[in-house]
Structure 1
Amino acid sequence: MLSFFKRLFQQSYEGLEKAFQKGAVIVDVRTKSEYQQGHVADSKNIPLNEIKIKLDTIRKWNKPVITVCRSGSRSAMAKNLLKSAGIEVYNGGAWTSLNRK
């Protein structure tokens, strides 16, 4: 069972590395006040409830997107929204975890 989780997280990290190599944009989907308390450098703050109305802007970046939030829940929801819109997207989980990479 432990090896399953190791493979799962390793594959996830490899996906993020490939996305970064393609010039991925980190999108922090927390509220503006949460974002102001700390965030990944050079990330963009688009709160989860604004993702749908920002789809055209995000598409124009023409880059992979890595979503982050406080725990990984909202970033997973944002990932699903972006993926259903045809955008290459990865869930980076908690911003603090991604910030350490």
Structure 2
Amino acid sequence: MKTITAKEVETLLREGKPLNIVDVREADEVAAGKIPGAMHIPLGLIEFRMDELDKNKEYILVCRSGGRSGRAAELLEKHGYRVVNMTGGMLAWEGPVE
């Protein structure tokens, strides 16, 4: 599984790179702040909502610490999606939130 650090994601966003970020945390966690522009699909629903994702795009998956996003990445990879897990999750995120 490919990984990326929170700092690398922050740098790419600051450079204006178009990123496809999926936050797999629960709604109450996302309400406390998420990476600007991130799509929210809770881990428990990812299997049922993966058709909302485009297999031609690469997605960066985010959770609180990197565990749930890792599980989501494994599931999506099995279904042919290109995914990258953000290690450290939102605990490592120092960039802006919305």
| TM-score after normalising by structure 2 | 0.73
Matching residue within 56, 81, 84 for 2:78: 84
Structure 1: runs of 5 or more not aligned: 1-10
Equivalent in the alignment of 2:29: 34
Structure 2: runs of 5 or more not aligned: none
The runs of at least 4 consecutive aligned structure 1 residues that moved more than 3 Å come to 19-24
Structure with larger RCO (C-alpha < 8 A, sep 6+): 2
Q: Percent identity?
A: 35
Aligned residues: 87
Aligned CA-pair RMSD: 2.6
Larger radius of gyration: 1
Task: Please list the CA deviations of residues 55-91 of structure 1 after superposition, one character each: whole Å capped at 9, or x if unmatched.
Answer: 111136x310000000100010001011111111000
For 2:31, the aligned partner's letter is Q
CA distance in 1, matches of 2:19, 2:73: 14
Normalized per residue, the structure richer in helix is: 1
